[in-house]
Amino acid sequence: MKKMGMLPKLLIGAVAGILVGLLINNLTKEGSNTIISSMMSFIAGVIGTYTTLFGSFLKFIVPLIILGLIIPGIADLGKKAGKMLTFTTVLSYLSSIIAGFSAYIIGTIIIPIILKGIKLPSSIEESTKKSIFDTFIPLDLGQIMGAMTAIALAFLIGLGLAYLKEENLKKVTMEFKEIVEKTLVKFVIPFIPFHIAGLFAKLAGEGKIVPVIKMFSLLFLLIIIVQILCILAQYVVACIYGKKPYFKSIKNMLPAYLTAVGTQSSAATIPVTLVSTEKNGISEDVKDFVIPLCANIHLSGDTITLVLGAMGIMYVTGSPIIQPIIGMQYILLLGVTMVAAPGIPGGGVVTALGLLQSLLRMDPSQQALMIALHFSQDSFGTATNVTGDGALAIIVDERAKKINMR
C-alpha cells in the first residue's frame, strides 16, 4: 500500500465505502436480524465518528496551513527580487487566474446544463444527523482564527519579513513550514482515502450515491476538456509571442504531460520538463530557472479543478450560485494560495480549504466531496500545470532576449 499512488487508494476507499454503506443500508432495515443490525449500526457509528473527528481536525488545521505555507513563500520571493523572478512570478499568477476566470465563465454556462436534475441535500451532514451514522464523540476543535484572517496575517508577516530581511525570523517561519508540511504528509494526506470512504459509506447508506457518481463523472470530463483548452490557449499566446512552431512545441511537451499524469507531481517531473523545453529551443539559463520555479508556483490546472469543482458541487447541493464578485475574490485569492501549495498529491485542494470555508461557505461534507474530486483529477491537473510551464518558458525566454532580465 505504501507504494500505491493516491488515486488508486482513493478509488479503493470510495468503492469500499460504497459497498459498506450498501451493506449497512440492507442489514439495518426493519425486519433484519437484531444482532446483525446492531453490529452494522455500531460500524456505522464508527464511520460517523471517524469522519466527524477527521473533518474537525481539517477545519482546525486550515489556518495553520495558510500561515505555515504563505508566510515563508512571500518572504522568500521578496528576498529574491530580480527582473526574471518578478516577471515569471507575475506571469504564473496571471496564467492561473486567467485559467480560473475562463473556467468560471464556462462553468456558469455548462454546469446548469450537464448537471440538470442531479440534486443532493444542501448538507450531507444534516441529512444524516439523526441516523445510524451519528458520531460517538461529538467533538469540534474549532479554529484559532478564520481563514481570511489567516490569509491577511500571512501577507502582513510575509511582506514584513521580506522588507526587514531578518534571517532569524525567516528561519522560524521555514521551520514552522516544515512542521506543517510534515503534518500534511504524515497525518492528513494518508488518511484522506479513509475520510472519503466514510463519506461514500454515508451516501450509500442513505441511498444518495447514484447522483454523486453522476456528478463526479460529468465534472471530471468537463474539467479535463477545459484543462486541454487551457493548454492549447497558453501555447497560442506563447508561440505567437515567442515565434515558435505551434504544433511542434506542444508535441515536444507531450512526454512531460504523460510523465506528470503518472507521477502526480510537478517537482518529480522537472527532469522530463527540462528536456522537453530544451527541444523547444529555450536557452539553458532560462529553462533551468523557469521550470523549477513554475513547478512550485504555476498551478493553472489545479485552479481550473478548484473553480469548476466548487461550482458543480455547490450547484447539486442547492447552495447559492457563486456570484461574479465572490467568484472574482475566490479566483484572485486562489491564485495566491496556489503559489503556497506544497508539491505533494492533493496539496492544492488542502491549501484551498480555507477559501472554500470562508468565501464559498462550504460545509464539511461539501469540502470532502471537493477533496475527493480534486484527488481523482489530480494527475491531469498536474499534467496541465507542467505543460503550461513550457509555454511560460517560451514567453520568458523571448522576453529575456529583448531586455536584460538575467
Full 3-state SS string of the chain: CCCCCHHHHHHHHHHHHHHHHHHHHHHCCCCCCHHHHHHHHHHHHHHHHHHHHHHHHHHHHHHHHHHHHHHHHHHHHHHCCCHHHHHHHHHHHHHHHHHHHHHHHHHHHHHHHHCCCCCCCCCHHHHCCCCCCCCCCCCCCCCCCCHHHHHHHHHHHHHHHHHHCCHHHHHHHHHHHHHHHHHHHHHHHHHHHHHHHHHHHHHHHCCCHHHHHHHHHHHHHHHHHHHHHHHHHHHHHHHHHHCCCHHHHHHHHHHHHHHHHHHCCCCCCHHHHHHHHHHCCCCHHHHHHHHHHHHHHCCHHHHHHHHHHHHHHHHHCCCCCCCHHHHHHHHHHHHHHHHHCCCCCCHHHHHHHHHHHHCCCCCHHHHHHHHHHHHHHHHHHHHHHHHHHHHHHHHHHHHHHHCCCC
pLDDT digits (tens, 9 = 90+) for 311-325: 999 998 887 778 889
Question: What confidence tens digit (pLDDT) does each residue in 183-218 have?
Answer: 888 888 788 888 888 888 888 887 778 888 889 899
Residues 6+ apart with CB under 8 A from 275: 255
251 compared with 296, residue with greater pLDDT: 251
What's the rounded mean pLDDT across residues 345-370? 82
- Segment among 17-26, 109-118, 138-147, 382-391 with least mean pLDDT: 138-147
Q: Residue 394 pLDDT more than 50?
A: yes
Q: What is the pLDDT averaged over residues 26-54? A: 79
Torsion 329-335-338-340 (CA) sign:
negative
Res. 346: pLDDT tops 90:
no
Of the chain, the percentage scoring pLDDT greater than 90 comes to: 25
pLDDT digits 0-9 by tens, 117-132? 888 765 544 444 456 6
| pLDDT at 290 > cutoff 50 | yes
108 versus 89: the higher-pLDDT residue is 108
Please check the confidence at residue 23 and state whether its pLDDT lies above 70: yes
| Per-chain mean pLDDT for the chain | 83
pLDDT tops 60 at residue 373: yes
Q: How confident is the model at residue 67 (pLDDT cuts 50, 70, 90)?
A: confident
* pLDDT > 90? residue 31: no
Per-residue pLDDT averaged across 31-56, rounded?
Answer: 80
Q: For residue 125, what pLDDT is reported?
A: 47
